[in-house]
Structure 1
Amino acid sequence: MSNIPTTMTAIDPAAAGGPEVLVPVSRPVPQPGPGEVLVRVAAAGVNRPDVLQRLGLYPMPPGTPTIMGLEIAGEIVAVGADTPRWQVGDKVCALVAGGGYAEYCVAPGGQCLPVPAGLSFADAAGLPETYFTVWSNLFQRGAAKAGESVLVHGGTSGIGVTAILLAKAFGLTVIVTAGSDEKCASALALGADHAINYKTQDFAAEVATLTAGRGVDIVLDMVGGDYIPKNIASLADDGRHVSIAFQRGPRAEVDFTAVMRKRLVITGSMLRPRPVAFKAAVAAELEARVWPLFAQTRLRAVTDCVLPLAQAADAHRRMEAGTHVGKIVLSTD
């Protein structure tokens, strides 16, 4: 590591607060331990959990770097012991538990994936968090399969865009909700079969109409709160409700009569606290089943904007404004 500097620029807020706390600071360059690699970060994705962490509302797992950022892309510049797959010079994108908003970041080797053919570092940096999340929840927990239908809330968010692209690539019918006619149009342009403006339409009533009263097989929910009873009403017999976030709160009052009558499964998960072995297994499935679809142009990156690392505050403001379509990315170039 002789050609690697000892310090780097990073976004490591000293206290919780508004976007203004996201200012560049100098931090030591981390060193990879066994099973880890050190990546010279070219770009880092911005995600809603980053906003919650900045506000002090997202407790970090023990041992997680206080530097923000959950996904990166760049070039490996050092490898720790017991990391046989990766070599210095490999171009990767990676899911990390923290540390992404920086010029260098350590990543578990098992959570790294090669940058898909034809994608820039900026585009690749926006893949890991949403692809790991959607694959593990919609396809593993939700058991999605070709011919089924899924309702996805937040259709133009990073998760929503990924869910549209993945679900369509694997033969599902996709219904999304979004907060404006413009966002609904964007979701349809990305491949959604139907888009519902939740501000002007009752999404449960619209789902019933679109499915001739049958309902959807899966709901991928990031809203929670009062959406959950309406999600349950929107599910078909033997449907699956998969929760991945709760922007309207973690509590809901549910009449379990419908759950029992329709034989529903209610499940959910959080990705960040899961062990490296689990995330590595997801990475292996993604590389085998999903990554080839980029080369076949059946999948593509949808990047809303790329901002310099020093403008992390502006990136968070855009995230909070909710005007983005796809991923917001920070660049170290």
Structure 2
Amino acid sequence: MPSTMRAAVLTAPGIENLHVTDLPVPEPAAGQVRIKVMSFGLNRSEHHSVTGQAEGMSYPRVLGIEASGVVDLDPAGVLAPGTQAATMMGGMGRSFDGGYAQYVVVPREQVITFSSPLEWDVIGSVPETLQTAYGALTTALDLRSGQSLLVRGGTSALGLAAAALAVDRGCRVLATSRRRAGLELLAARGVEAVLDDGAVAGRVRKRLPGGVDAVLELVGAPTLRDCLAATAVHGTVCFAGMLSDSWTIPDFYPMDWIPTGVRLTTYAGEAHNLPATELQRVLDRIAAGALDLVPVHAYPLEDIVRAQQDMAAGTHVGKLVGLPWS
């Protein structure tokens, strides 16, 4: 067992303060598990940490709100060494060190086990994206087969994953993109692509005059009102993302913004909100070629600054994944 590991540490807000360095391999305390990290997904949450927008941060901090790998040590012997496992949220990368490292220590209750032959870059793209997409579609939107869904921010990793899951459920899915290449990607994935110029409600209602049954709002505050206008009576809008980095609405007037009979909710989940059976089901369907959740772009841990810059610039469509052992 090595005594040190490579990890990406943020010492203060600002991309210039993110460095890959050597740290001691962490020791798990009672109730904790050490995971050897084989891959980790990059998330908008970490961009907010780098830019100083995240709450609950302390420094220096190893970033990363999720990680996938194998159990390295469970002092209580509950989880056997070598067991494939994913972990996420619960303060990872903010109040305690996260997944941008070769090893991470987390509470046992936020570990989800699975078994999959997929490559680690693919596995690393799934857990947190799936947790949010699955929770938003089920808990928040109660989406059912045969219903219609609009995904606002459709070419984000979360948008692509949610659309894929909804199509897999037998739903009619519309999704937005601001770019022609994005529209083509959505269409190739069995989704009705809608050009987003800031106002899509009219375009949606040309296809569905009564409005959509559900909307997954991932852009944020600037497009929320337009999403509400695209929604059918008894339909629901779920605010679950902030790609615009705009979180609040000045002078929000609910009686004017929210159409009669339209519901507005939010979703933000934790590890326990993703059933192990659902993670296993999705990994199995990806391995069988029956589900294409999201395109994957992998980076060695040593290139984490470039990966962060690419995420901020939107250089790639899909999920960015880090590989600590490359």
SS at the partner of 1:286? Answer: helix
Q: Which runs of 5+ in 1 are unaligned?
A: none
Indicate the SS of the match to 1:236.
Answer: strand
Q: Does 1:33 align with 2:29?
A: yes
One-letter code aligned to 1:312: I
Match of 1:77 in 2: 72
Aligned length: 316
Equivalent residue for 1:204? Answer: 201
- Per the normalisation by structure 2, the TM-score is 0.88
Residue 149 of structure 1 contacts residue 217 of structure 1 at CA under 8 Å; is this kept in 2?
Answer: yes
Q: Which amino acid aligns with 2:86?
A: C
Residue type at the aligned position of 2:70: E
Q: Output the aligned Cα RMSD.
A: 2.4
- Of residues 10, 15, 22, the one that matches 1:13 is 10
Q: Which of 262, 265, 269 is the matching residue for 2:263?
A: 265
Deviations 1:258-290 (A, max 9, x none): 7462x222111333xx5xxxx324233524764
Structure 1: which amino acid aligns with 2:262? Answer: L
- Residue identity matched to 1:75: V
CA contact (8 A) 2:87 2:110 kept: yes
CA pair 292-254 structure 1, distance change in 2 beyond 3 A: farther
Q: Which residue does 1:320 correspond to in 2?
A: 312
Distance change in 2, residues 1:260/1:174 (3 Å)? closer
For 2:255, give the aligned amino acid.
F
Taking the aligned partners of 2:30 and 2:272, their CA distance within structure 1 comes to 15
Residue 249 of structure 2 is matched in structure 1 by 251
Partner residue in 1 for 2:160: 161
Amino acid at match of 1:326: G
Q: Decide whether aligned partners of structure 1 residues 205 and 301 sit closer, same or farther in structure 2, where only a CA change above 3 A counts.
A: closer
Name the TM-score, length of structure 1 as normaliser.
0.86
SS at match of 1:12: strand
- CA–CA separation in structure 2 for the residues paired with 1:226 and 1:128: 28
Which residues in structure 2 correspond to 1:93-108 (within 5 Å)? 93-96=86-89, 97-98=92-93, 99-108=98-107
Give deviations 1:87-136, integer Å, cap 9, x for gaps: 10112232242211001012343433345534111111111111111111
CA distance 1:109–1:171, change in 2 (3 Å): farther
Confirm whether residue 189 of structure 1 aligns to residue 188 of structure 2.
yes
8 Å Cα contact 1:73-1:115 kept in structure 2: no
Identity rate, percent:
28
Mapped contact 1:117–1:294 kept (Cα < 8 A): no
1:28 CA displacement? 2.2
Check if 1:136 corresponds to 2:127. no
Segments of 5+ residues of structure 2 without an aligned counterpart are none
